[in-house]
Each structure stands twice: as structure tokens, then as C-alpha cells.
Chains A and B, each alone.
Chain A
Amino acid sequence: MAKKISKTEVIVTGFGGQGIVLAGKILGMAAALGDHRESTLVQSYGPESRGGACCAQVIIAEKTIQYPYVKMADVLVCMSQSAYEKYKIQIKPEGYLITDRDLVNPDNQREVFDIPATRMAEELGRTMMANIIMIGFVTAVTSLISEKAAREAIMSSVPKGTEEMNLKAFTRGFEYGRSKLKGREKKAAGQTGAIA
């Protein structure tokens, strides 16, 4: 997808404190530093980033970006119900809607790629890492950034000493995304279970 469309607009949104802004920052950094493309980030500040519906707007493009705000997103990542309600209209018809399965109850109007990111993070030992799992999932599902670039960006963005855990979280989300895609492919081919 990223290769064909010259400009991809992303909205990452959720509660303040979930690491929404950091997730946006990592996406942008990976695209710019790892994949050598252009990227911008507009992050919410003020009351939202301290608990409300927090939001990070990222644009990734091949050419210089003139305007950094996102009106209609190609990829909308929602990590809370209130954020979903607020931003669900700002997604293009062909865009990807990506949610945390346990935190967002979508209204079935369009196809959803969901992942139990927060639950997985709990399993891994730190709820905080849900955002990194989400980045892994987004990377696998949308191919917005390359896997290598994402890993490098995570390494340089997360606090010292937690790199390994965060990479593990990324892998968890990435693999989930890959098997999700595979599952869709199989289902589309009419193969749902192991026994025909």
C-alpha cells in the first residue's frame, strides 16, 4: 500500500497515557529515519494527553509534506471507545480501521482489524506496552513502514533497559497481524478450519 500511494495519513488515538503520542512518534521516525521517506507528527497536548481522547496525527509521504494536519485518515488506530466515537467519521472508505479488541466496540459499519493489544501487554507483564504491540500489528497489516525500520525506531525511542521487552511486544503484535492476514486470506479462499 505504502509503495503505491504517495501519501498516507494516519490517526492514532486512544486515552492519554496509553502511549498514543509515542506510537505516532515511532511510526513517523521509522518512516523518516529507517525508510528514508518524509513524515510529520501533530500531537495533541493539554487536557487530552492527560486522560481524554488523545490523538497523534502522522503523515508519511514520498515528497515534502506541506500541511501536517489529517482530515481523512488512511489508517485509523483506535485504542479507546471514546476515541473511536470521536474519530470514526475521519476515515477514508478504503482506509484501515484498527482497534484494540477489548477496548473498542465498533458499530460494524466497516471491516475492522482488531487485536487484543492491552491483554497481550498484560500477558507480557506490562500494560504500558500495548502501544508497541499496536505498532507491530499496524506494521504487519498495513505495511506502512518496514519491519526493520520499526524495530530500529522502537530501540531508539523506548527508555533504556526496556528495549528487549519492547521488541518482544512488537514481535507479538507483528506476528498476530501476519496470522490475521493469513487467516483472512484463507477464509476468503473458503478454508476456515483444519478439516475441509
Chain B
Amino acid sequence: MEEYKIILFLCNWGPHTAYQQLQDDGYQIPSEVKMIRIPCTGRISKALLFKAFEMGADGVAIVGCNSGACRYGSGTLKAENNTEDTRNIIDLLGIGRERMRLATFLPDESEALKKFLTGFCEDLKQLGKSPVQPAGLQPVEASGESAQQVIARYDVYSCQDCGKCTASCPLALSGKAYSPRNIVSDIIRGNDTAEKVYADVHACLTCGICHERCPSDVNFPEFIRDMRCLLNQTRVSGERIQPHGGFFQSLMRTMTSKDIRPNRWKWLPKDIQVDPDSKILFFGGCAPYFDAFFKKHQQVNTVDILADALRLLNFFDVRPRLLEMERCCGHDLLWSGDRTNFMRLAKLNVEMIQDLGIETVITACPECYHTIGLEYEKNGISPGFTVTHLYAFLENAIHKGAVTFKPIPHRITYQDSCRMNRREEIIDLPRKLIQRLAVEQFQEMKDSGRSSLCCGNCAWTGCDAYSKALQVKRIRQAHETGSDLLVTSCPKCQIHLRCAMEDPFQETELKMEMIDLTSLIARTICWE
């Protein structure tokens, strides 16, 4: 029988004494248990807890001191929160919440610890092996590509050194010593392995303003994306630049395992009607995971966007099918430089959707739309179904008429989504829809439309003081419009801007209510 692996994070203080007591008493610690001695359970982040599952652990136990006995004060409380969130996430992922446990022991509770360890081992054997196949341990398939080839693909040589990119780059404008033009010349000169270049390549927001302004039409965001894929080939995940401890990349790599059975739709409200025979699929995206991860921190509630999107489809008599086993579309893996695992996710998703005989995929997420609708094809996976953004569906349905909107007592402004802003066929849709709403006032921010500012992060890479300054600048722009409601179209804009609003140095100055356009429409639409 295959051996089970249980990772035991064991606090140095209370329980470690109990653990040693067990060993002194001659108790054989079960061979499945791999103990890692840690200074405090509060320091084991969600990313670390989850990482164990990603790397193939069948169970994770985090064992610390009793609440109140923590040497550092709040360690146990933090561990409780992290455990709760991680359990919710592995439950959504279909790994099963029972595989993650938190326990606390005093130094003299060795018997209780023994019971806990043997009990956990037995329970896990009942559950069976974890369905995760560790993707992170497999070597990244080298594309055999050189930096020169990437440079040639995007014709980066045609850079005229004019500096329009730097002059428009939101990061440079926030004060960071950052210049797309210099990155390009560094890479052309063959400095692509330098640490500074690596950091700069990963700091890029890939928002695409530089491409918009470039007189030579150098597609800088895609160049950066391919450079990330290239540079990361030689790095193991720990050496990569990934905020949140690389949690999200880890999560998405885990989703490449064929055997996991995610149940990401279990939260679905009762009033929503779906049809398992429909030829239209609603692709939700990762919102439920985001909510589980950020729950304690900022009360992010992005699943509302999915529920409201489904309600809007229902409103127009569309009862879509949902894909129970839906994976991440792969956007963040691709844009953080992991093409291998992106391809795995893409193939899995396309296979599953094709097997259902789906003709149209509707999504409310700009990144899913961009990735499934465009990147899959570009990377040689032809979907065989059409991909529609919810806004396109809504605009079409509302245009037919006999629909009106209840008045909203708010003055609104709109935060563009970068991915949506670079796609000709949908770029005008959010504003068309906003114009239909019965709001008190709609006022554009200083930078809007094609020259709109990014929310400050992309693909969970490159979060630093400058991107924070950028977010603060953006929220100030929103306040300057005199609006009291900020409308967004991407769940990540919500997450990142909300994070910036929590800045303790700004106190409540930045606070502003936010709502996704989908939710705003769903809450006010009605028949004439």
C-alpha cells in the first residue's frame, strides 16, 4: 500500500514538549507523520498550509499552544483563522476539509497529542489518498526558446527609444524607477538573467497602456508575459516573485490535477435556475476562492457577481449549465510565467466543456473572457465553442427593449478592467450599459477609457509600495469625481482597491463603496 503523508506543523513551545515526552516514553510516532518544528503556528500562512497539499500531502495538521498560552499573544488566533480559510478552500477544491486540522496542547498533554495523531492517521486512511498530483514537483517543460526569439516575435527591435511607454506607465508615474524601454534594451543587450531585469519583468502590470501608446506597435505586455515564461523555466517556485506567498499560483497549479472534483458551485443561492441540458455554459471563474482567501481580511464578496450574472441570465430566460468541475481558466498562471501548467488547465477545461456539447460559453470575468476566448486558440487549443462576455449578452438583450432600470440614489464612476480595455469588440460595452442605468450622475475619472489606470496588480505578481501608491492615486481620482459609488467590472479590481482603502495611514479618507457593474444591473433591472 502506498504510504500516506501527513505534514505536522508543530509549535516549538507548548506541544513540542508534549511531543518529546511521547518520544521519551518510547511511543512510535506514526511513520506517515512528517514533523516540521515551527516557532509559532501564527506564522504558518495560508500559502504554506496549502503548499503542503499542492506538494502531495494527504493531510496537514497544525498543532500549537492553547489560546491564551501563545508566547507571542495572537499566534493561536491567527492559526485558527488561517486554518478555517484553508479548510474552506480545500473544500471548494474538492480535496475535503477533513484533511486539514488544527489542535492545541499544553506541554503536559502528551496523551491527548498521541490520541490526536493516531486518530488523524486513521481518519485519513478512511478518506484515502489525496487526489492531488503534485504538479509543482514536475519539471517545467522547457520551450527551447531563447530571449532572442521572444524579442523577434514581438519585433521589439523596432523600439525607437522614444520613451512614450515610460511616460505613460502607471508604475513609472507612481514614482517607481521603472521604464519599459530600459527593460527592452537590457534584454536586447543580453542582460536577461540579471536579477534587476527579473524583478522588473515581474513588476509590470501588463495593463497595456504602453502598447496603446507605442508608435512602433510593440506589444509590451505580451512580450513581458513570454519573458516571464522564459525566465521562470530555470527557477523553482520558491524563487519566483509572487505575493500572497505564491498561494494563488499554488492553488491554480493544484487544479491541474485531473482527479480532483471541485465543488465550486455549492454556495449557489436557491433562487437561481440552471439547466443541466443547456447548450450554454456559464463559466464562473475563481471568485469563490478569492472570497475564501480574503474573507477575514477585507470581506471581499465576489461570488455575488457570479450569482447576479446568473440571475441576469435567468431574467432573460436563459438557464445555463454550470461546470461542476470547472478549473481556473489559467490566466494568472500564464501571465505569471507558467505556460506548462496553463496549458494543462486549458486542455482540461476545453475537454470538459466539449464533452458536455456546449456551444456557447458566457462569462462575467474579463480575464476568463480574454483567456478562453483568445489565449486558448493562440496556444494551439481550439475551443470549438464561442465565448461571449456577459456584457455583450446583456447589451443585446436590453437593446431589444421593454426593459427599464430602477433609479439608484448614487453618483457613480467606473474603474476599467485592463483586459476588457484591450479588446475592440467589448471595449465600449460597459459604458453603453452604464448609460442605460438610472443613476444620479455618471462621471468619468481623470484617466478613463483607453488611458485608464490599472487597479495595481495583475496575475498575483508585483505588489509593492509603488503599486500601492498607484491604487491610492486611483481611488483619489474616483473621489475627485464627486461620486459615492465606484463601479468595477473585474473581481480583482474589487480586491485590490479594497485592500488599498484599508491603508491605516489614510484612515477613512479613501473609503468608498464599490459594486460590480453586473450586480448593479441585476439589482436595478426590471420589466417596463
Contact = CB atoms under 8 A, between A and B. Distances in A.
A36 interface: no
A115 B527 contact: no
Interface stretch (B285-293, B380-388, B430-438, B518-526): B518-526
17 contacts: A116-B401, A120-B401, A176-B400, A176-B401, A179-B400, A182-B527, A183-B528, A186-B527, A187-B527, A193-B525, A193-B526, A194-B308, A194-B312, A194-B314, A194-B315, A194-B523, A195-B311
A152 interface: no
A183 B528 CA distance: 7
B486 to A, nearest CB: 21
B175 to A, nearest CB: 43
Nearest to B400: A175
A180 B528 CA distance: 8
Interface of A: 115-116, 120, 175-176, 178-180, 182-184, 186-187, 192-196
A115 B406 CA distance: 19
Interface of B: 271, 308, 311-312, 314-315, 317, 397, 400-403, 406, 521-528
Nearest to A176: B401
A194 B522 contact: yes
A192 B400 contact: no
Contacts of B406: 193
B527 A192 contact: yes
A182 B526 CA distance: 12
A149 B445 CA distance: 50
A114 B525 CA distance: 19
Given A175-B400, A178-B400, A196 B528 contact: no
A195 B400 contact: no
Contacts of A175: 400-401
Nearest to A137: B401
A194 B526 CA distance: 7
A194 B311 CA distance: 6
B527 A176 contact: no
A182 B315 contact: no
Contacts, number: 50
Contacts of B526: 192-194
Contact of B525 (A120, A179, A194): A194
Contacts of A195: 308, 311, 522-523
Contacts of B312: 194
Contacts of B523: 193-195
B527 A196 contact: no
Contacts of B401: 115-116, 120, 175-176, 179-180
Nearest to B404: A183
A169 B104 CA distance: 72
A179 B402 contact: yes
A176 B402 contact: yes
Contacts of A176: 400-402
A115 B314 CA distance: 24
Contacts of B308: 194-195
A176 B400 CA distance: 5
B304 to A, nearest CB: 10
Given A175-B401, A182-B317, 9 more contacts: A116-B401, A176-B401, A176-B402, A179-B397, A179-B403, A180-B402, A193-B406, A194-B308, A194-B315
A184 B402 CA distance: 9
B199 to A, nearest CB: 46
B259 to A, nearest CB: 37
A178 B400 CA distance: 9
Given A194-B308, A195-B311, A182 B402 contact: yes
A159 B301 CA distance: 56
A120 B403 CA distance: 14
Contacts of B525: 193-194
A132 B522 CA distance: 32
6 closest Cβ contacts across the A-B interface?
A183-B527, A176-B401, A180-B402, A194-B315, A175-B400, A179-B402
Among the interface residues A182, A184, A193, which one has the most CB atoms of the partner chain B within 10 A? Answer: A193
B270 to A, nearest CB: 10
Contacts of B403: 179, 183
A175 B311 CA distance: 21
B345 to A, nearest CB: 31
A185 to B, nearest CB: 9
Contacts of A186: 527
Nearest to A116: B401
Contacts of B527: 182-184, 186-187, 192
Nearest to B315: A194
